[in-house]
Chains A and B, each alone.
Chain A
Amino acid sequence: MDIIKDLLFGFSVATTPVNLLYCFAGVLVGTLVGVLPGVGPPAALSLLLPVTFHVPPVSAVILLAGIMYGAMYGGSTTSILVNIPGEAASVVTCLDGYQMARKGRAGPALGISAFGSFIAGTVSVVLLILLAPTLAKFALRFGPPEYFSLMVLGLSILVYLARGSIINALLIVCLGLLLGTVGLDPMSGSPRFIYKITTLMDGIGLVQVVIGLFGISEVLLNVETTFKQEIFETKIKGLLPNREDWKRSIGPIGRGTIIGFFLGIVPGMSVVIPTFVSYVLEKKLSKYPEKFGTGVIEGVAGPESANNAASGGTLVPMLSLGIPTGAATALLLGALMIHGLRPGPLLIKDSPEVFWGVVASLYVGNVMLLVLNLPLIGLWVKILKVPYHYLFSLIVLFCIIGSYVTNNNPYDVVIMGLFGLIGYAMKKLNYEAAPLVLALVLGPMMENALRRSLVLSEGSIGVFFTRPISAFFLIAGLLILFSPLFLKKRRLREDLRSGGE
């Protein structure tokens, strides 16, 4: 009964006119971000983060969370209509969604994607309500060793699933952890790697790093060659899926929702992997697996439900443990901290209006997206037709403004430009950026937990193995990291990533 009371309280927070406005703005910007290739949710969150400084914390998080799950809706539109995934979580949707559009079934593809996302979003809110408070209570038993081991587990999963070599991903994680040490030492207050540059005193800003790595680097990559903008002209009619479509989609939607939510909870999985897993599963369960990739509705319904459910899932560890699972949740965590909130087991108790308000807003936002998105599909397609030379100029300008207004410091923009160049080089050399961002966020927390654990145990690293929860996380993390030595890792990893293309 307490949960229902808390949820009603959450709805009373989320449905105030101001919060409804922020929720609406968030899902609208999120959808736009999902539609536009090259601007993913992390970059959009970074750009809008400074805007939320003058806003109450709960409204700020409602706005930013709206961008995160709104992008999942927007991404599917471009995947289906133009075969361009607006962001990584919609890559799989291209396989069958675009083929459906080519066969004149763009309407049902868009429809089932929106309804599937709505169902998944609704179920994930319920699961979030049931799971997050329980996990938060459990997490009160966590001490520094447990936190350290949990973060090692998260980074191990991310490294394992990263594109390309595991060692390269580990190097990137090390770079991220190292960047996290720049600034004042959190325990002694002595400066580290500052080199008399005052801008670095507070450390390297997450916003600047993310905008550089995801925003500027994408622009650089696109302008190095002639950008081809191909829009497949199709008439969209009959957005409501028919009885047969529903019959074939309801199973994939259910399975995608469960897979998405529970994989989304695992640190490092983020929203991309669940979509691939869902697609592979649907293909394996199908009576006609050979037809996947030619325009079957199950190939759209499953992954699209999975990515939306995963958005809800990623919020569980972020809100209840204070541990982000990917770049987008890392920024959300940053936003909570900027507003003076302490994400973690005590958030629900200390700031119930934020926790329950945000949870309720997820449902409100999902309703808004369902009502808004189908009628606005024509508008999104028109936006995609805006020539890239206008788009990239605006993206560059927004990147500059986003990094500048965080501290009104011009050198922050220089740092952003530098990370744009680093991100560009990383993309050229096939290094993934997400592990760097997560390591940068987790780095200071990990160092703190490691050093406090060593102080607690008087210098014995056995503390990580003698405490059962910590031992479980650490051994699981190490097993994942070293499993390629024992298993045929490439096949398993490629299966997960390629989704059986």
Chain B
Amino acid sequence: MAWVKVYCSLFWLLFSVLTCLQASRLDMGETSAPGPGFYPLTIGVVMGILSLIVFCQAIQSKKPAEKTTSTERIRWWNIVVILAAVTLYTLSIGKIGFLINTFLLITLLLKVVQPQSWKTSILGGLITAVASELVFNVILRAQIPTGLLGF
């Protein structure tokens, strides 16, 4: 049995059930004047049918689960660091500001994801922060918050 396919189909099934439940709370209208719930409910039902087909195909499948050819270990840590950095950057940009935030982000990414020396990381962060401040806030007037520095 192809377990990945089974899990995927169950995810889609759950998602379609939730969609149908949420859509059914909206006004359905009539067929001659469909309401806001009609279209999402239809999509939810179609998704449910499709996920059931995938589920049936998966449990009937005699093909063994595919083995990944790469022997290299996946560096989950890098993915977590990038997503966390993006979230922190975003949530703090109003207070700390674009320039400092960009410097911290680039320094962190250079130091942690594919580790560089402190000197390279800090220099890379500094150059990128100043250059992007010039391009986006000065030349393109993108109005990204200046935060602590306030200029």
User: Which A residues contact B (CB, under 8 angstroms)?
Assistant: 50-51, 54, 165, 167-168, 170-171, 174-175, 177-178, 181, 185, 187-188, 190, 192-193, 216, 219-220, 223-227, 388-390, 392-394, 396-397, 399-401, 404-405, 408, 410-411, 413-414, 416-417, 420-421, 424, 429, 447, 450-451, 454-455, 458-459
Contacts and interface: CB of A to CB of B under 8 A. Distances in A.
B34 A393 contact: no
Contact of B76 (A224, A411, A451, A455): A224
Contacts of A188: 27, 35-36
Contact of A397 (B4, B36, B102): B102
A282 B76 CA distance: 44
Contact of B128 (A192, A394, A455): A394
Given A171-B47, A390-B124, A455-B33, A401 B79 contact: no
Nearest to A447: B39
A300 B87 CA distance: 43
B75 A223 contact: yes
Most chain B Cβ neighbours within 10 Å, of A51, A388, A400: A400
A451 B75 contact: no
Contact of B113 (A54, A389, A397, A454): A389
A171 B90 CA distance: 31
11 contacts: A167-B53, A216-B86, A220-B83, A389-B109, A389-B113, A393-B109, A401-B132, A404-B144, A413-B86, A421-B83, A459-B32
B94 A410 contact: yes
Nearest to A389: B114
Nearest to A193: B22
B111 to A, nearest CB: 10
Leading 6 A-B pairs by shortest Cβ distance: A459-B31, A459-B32, A185-B36, A413-B90, A389-B114, A223-B78
Contact of A393 (B4, B8, B128): B128
Contacts of B141: 54
B36 A424 contact: no
A405 B90 CA distance: 12
Given A54-B141, A393-B128, A429-B4, A171 B76 contact: no
Interface of B: 4, 8, 12, 15, 19, 22, 26-27, 30-40, 43-44, 46-47, 50-51, 53-54, 57, 70, 72, 74-76, 78-79, 82-83, 85-87, 89-91, 93-94, 102, 105-106, 109-110, 113-114, 116, 124, 128, 132, 136, 140-144
A213 B76 CA distance: 18
A252 B15 CA distance: 47
Given A192-B36, A429-B8, A454-B32, A396 B86 contact: yes
Contacts of A393: 105-106, 109-110, 113, 124, 128
Contacts of A216: 82, 86
Contacts of B39: 181, 447, 450-451
Given A168-B54, A451-B38, 10 more contacts: A51-B140, A171-B54, A177-B43, A216-B82, A220-B82, A389-B113, A393-B109, A405-B143, A447-B39, A454-B33
Contact of B90 (A54, A174, A410, A420): A410
A396 B40 contact: no
B110 A389 contact: yes
Contact of B93 (A392, A396, A410, A447): A410
B11 to A, nearest CB: 10
B51 to A, nearest CB: 7
Contact of A396 (B34, B46, B76, B109): B109
Contact of A225 (B35, B51, B70, B109): B70
Contacts of A455: 32-34
Contacts of A405: 136, 142-144
